[in-house]
A and B are shown apart, each in its own frame.
Chain A
């Protein structure tokens, strides 16, 4: 059990997909305008990551090495389609807000990266916890970025206006602001990491 917890925690801190591996920046930049979008994207990606990690770990022995990437893509695309359909059925506004970035989870480098680098070599249980950890790490990173951007860029948090008379930093709502926030957070986490060592 201790080993599984280790697998799980690794994705959140030591190998956080956004701040350490710097993967999946495209959806991060695009959807981190509001916390709701961030959570939605995080959960969708986590579900796909979890499912694809399990299935790919199960089929790792029977997939021929030379065509493994197309096989992984088919598996991932299946889960993405499930996610998209579920989102369309139960939460159309979120689906509209995330737009093209839900189907684009297929080519999200975190999902493919974990499949190739981890799930295709590890046991099913390890892959499961790895997928879960990576998903949670991605979600937390998205929440952090989108909370900063929504608060400073629109003066709101989860859609509620916090202060009256607050002049929002308009630029943080734009993609350039997302790059700025991610860059500063990356630097900040690097400083923390270097201080510990």
Chain B
């Protein structure tokens, strides 16, 4: 009792042992931003300088949007807790490399305003804000959102993504697994260089900021479905190609694992990952779009509350 004299009564102290961890939401956000850096550097190297401007514009406008809304609604200003920066960064990573300058600005504003602040700010949003922004841009300006640039060719020549080529029923040439792994292909800024993304993902996994319970079932399900139902025939599908192409690695490790919009329990997270994988595979193999990672994650975001309800942990000692 002597110790807790200074502590206000409203603080509820649970049973010991008490471990203090030097973590905060802000620190985790910054760590995720840091882990995304290699992919950004790789993208600038692959697609040229305009890519850097898209990333910078996305981040800055996300921060400004958050600031404006928080000042306007007289809430506490938390623009530098890293969450807005992360949203802007992820949104920019979800854009093609050579988009007009206003696209990342509008996308970031929409992501922060409609995706996050409308629900009450950090921790209240139902959907991943960056993906809300991306889907809005995709539905509004599909012509810009699907104009991908040829890799390692700084003249902004457009080329289809490998997934889009497969979707049209053409045969993919001149893209080896190594090209896909290193990012020598058309695609969104952040999704192309798998090597850089995996570096960031391993960092997050080792530090314990994300767990394997969402990404691994997600990737496994997509691979399994691509193997069974792939275009090459039953049980002959090119599953390595499906795992390495599109935004699967970026989505699985960095967007599906968003703390706010994914289930709380381990069991729920595995269900979430498998659901994402199922929807992604269905859209890729039979849907209208060549790529389905963003829609899959958004749909499973919507299912998160119900997953949480049915996977509640049993309280020890009760039935």
> In this complex, which of B114, B140, B141, B142 has the most chain A Cβ atoms within 10 angstroms of its Cβ?
B140
Q: For the complex, give the distance between the alpha carbons of A171 and B141 in Å.
A: 8
Q: For the complex, give the distance between the alpha carbons of A169 and B107 in Å.
A: 12
Contact, CB under 8 Å: B142 / A170: yes
Q: Does A176 contact B (CB under 8 A)?
A: yes
Contact, CB under 8 Å: B140 / A180: no
Contact, CB under 8 Å: A169 / B140: yes
Task: List B residues 102-149 near A (Cβ within 8 Å).
Answer: 114, 118, 136, 139-142
Contact, CB under 8 Å: B114 / A170: no
Q: What residue in chain B is nearest A191 (Cβ atoms)?
A: B73
Q: What residue in chain A is nearest B138 (Cβ atoms)?
A: A171
Contact, CB under 8 Å: B139 / A171: yes
Q: What residue in chain B is nearest A172 (Cβ atoms)?
A: B140
CB-CB under 8 A from A172, the residues of chain B are 140
Q: For the complex, give the distance between the alpha carbons of A167 and B280 in Å.
A: 30
Q: For the complex, give the distance between the alpha carbons of A169 and B138 in Å.
A: 10
| Chain A 167-186 per-residue mask, 1 if CB under 8 angstroms from chain B, else 0 | 11111101010001000000
Query: How many residues of chain A are within 8 Å of chain B by beta carbon?
Result: 10
Q: For the complex, give the distance between the alpha carbons of A119 and B140 in Å.
A: 44
CB-CB under 8 A from B118, the residues of chain A are 187
Contact, CB under 8 Å: B114 / A180: yes
Q: What residue in chain A is nearest B103 (Cβ atoms)?
A: A167
Q: What residue in chain B is nearest A152 (Cβ atoms)?
A: B140
Contact, CB under 8 Å: B114 / A176: no
Q: For the complex, give the distance between the alpha carbons of A167 and B101 in Å.
A: 13
Q: For the complex, give the distance between the alpha carbons of A172 and B123 in Å.
A: 27
Q: For the complex, give the distance between the alpha carbons of A176 and B298 in Å.
A: 15
Contact, CB under 8 Å: B141 / A174: no
Task: List A residues 150-197 near B (Cβ within 8 Å).
Answer: 167-172, 174, 176, 180, 187
CB-CB under 8 A from B140, the residues of chain A are 168-172
Kindly provide the distance from the CB of B97 to the nearest chain A CB, expressed in whole angstroms. 19
Kindly provide the distance from the CB of A11 to the nearest chain B CB, expressed in whole angstroms. 29
Q: What residue in chain A is nearest B114 (Cβ atoms)?
A: A180
Kindly provide the distance from the CB of A177 to the nearest chain B CB, expressed in whole angstroms. 8
CB-CB under 8 A from B136, the residues of chain A are 171
Q: Which residues of B contact A (CB under 8 A)?
A: 114, 118, 136, 139-142
16 examples of A-B residue contacts, CB within 8 angstroms:
A167-B141, A168-B140, A169-B140, A169-B141, A170-B139, A170-B140, A170-B141, A170-B142, A171-B136, A171-B139, A171-B140, A172-B140, A174-B139, A176-B139, A180-B114, A187-B118
The 7 closest A-B pairs by CB, nearest first: A171-B139, A171-B140, A169-B140, A170-B140, A167-B141, A171-B136, A170-B139
